[in-house]
Each structure stands twice: as structure tokens, then as C-alpha cells.
Copies of this chain bind each other. A is one copy, B any other.
């Protein structure tokens, strides 16, 4: 039995008590951008319930073109107004450099990736980088409430850094 099959069995149990559908626009008008890290359960850590917030996640919780796309759709078409950014302690992005990752892929596949890995050395500074990228984008109309946090994987606490 694959892990995927195991998670599908969990889904069957989830559906037994599920009641829907809820409305499409997020009830709390908030979008969260967070790292993909397995230890960061965004719904749990923020006490979110189904239907309340958009959740955007990637390696690092960084802001690239695709997060600008998602935030533009979130705000312009689905009415969100506040943005919460979450990086975390003990992040995998601290363990390598963009150039090392690019070179390893090049060595193995013969092809250099056209994208940067977006590694960083200081989560606090990278949260501030992400806030700055959002505020500099002409495509994100609402930037009055863009707040940035580092989630502590030891304590479960969010510490505000931007």
C-alpha cells in the first residue's frame, strides 16, 4: 500500500463528517503565504477553519512570480485584503546555496535550471525580502496589511519580524 493510498483512506473518513459546500471567497479575507515545510500545519497553527483563508505555499515561503500571480487572483477576484507571510526556523533553504543546487542538477542531468532555488541564510531577512517584493509589485492592489512571521518549529509560536 503506497502512502498515497493510505492518505486516500484518511480522506474517506474525513468525508464522512464533511459538510459543504461553503462559499468560494475566503470568509476572513486573508491570504497566507508559507513555506511547504511538513512541520508547519497552517490551518492548525493559525486556528483556521475550512473556507476562511487562501493558503499559498512553496519551498521557503518565498515570493516569486507565481506567488504574485496567486496573490493577484486572491485579492482582485476573491476579495482578500490582508496578507500573512510565514517562514520558519530550521528551514531546508538554509542548508544549501542557489549555486550549489544549480550545479548539482547540472552535474546530474546536464541541464542548468532556468530558475534560482531561492535559498537564504537568514529567515528574518528573507521575510522582509518577501514583504518588499509584494509591496513593489504593481499587480497586488492591497498592501496595507502585509505582516511577516517566523514559525518556531520547537515551540509552535509565530514571531513577528516584518
- Copies of this protein in the complex: 2
Asked whether B157 lies within 8 Å of A82 as measured between CB atoms, the reply is: no
Query: Is A136 located at the chain interface by the 8 A CB criterion?
Result: no
Query: Which listed residue (B22, B46, B82, B93) contacts A153, Cβ 8 A?
Result: B22
Query: Is A70 located at the chain interface by the 8 A CB criterion?
Result: yes
Asked whether B57 lies within 8 Å of A56 as measured between CB atoms, the reply is: yes
Query: Which listed residue (B27, B36, B158) contacts A56, Cβ 8 A?
Result: B36
A-side residues, CB < 8 A to B, are: 2-4, 6-8, 10-15, 18, 20-22, 24-31, 36-59, 64-70, 72-74, 76-78, 82, 84, 89-90, 92-93, 95-96, 101, 104-105, 108-109, 111, 113-115, 117-118, 138-139, 141, 145, 147, 152-158, 160
Q: Can you report 6 A-B residue pairs in the complex whose CB atoms are below 8 A from each other?
A: A10-B46, A10-B47, A11-B156, A14-B156, A77-B101, A111-B138
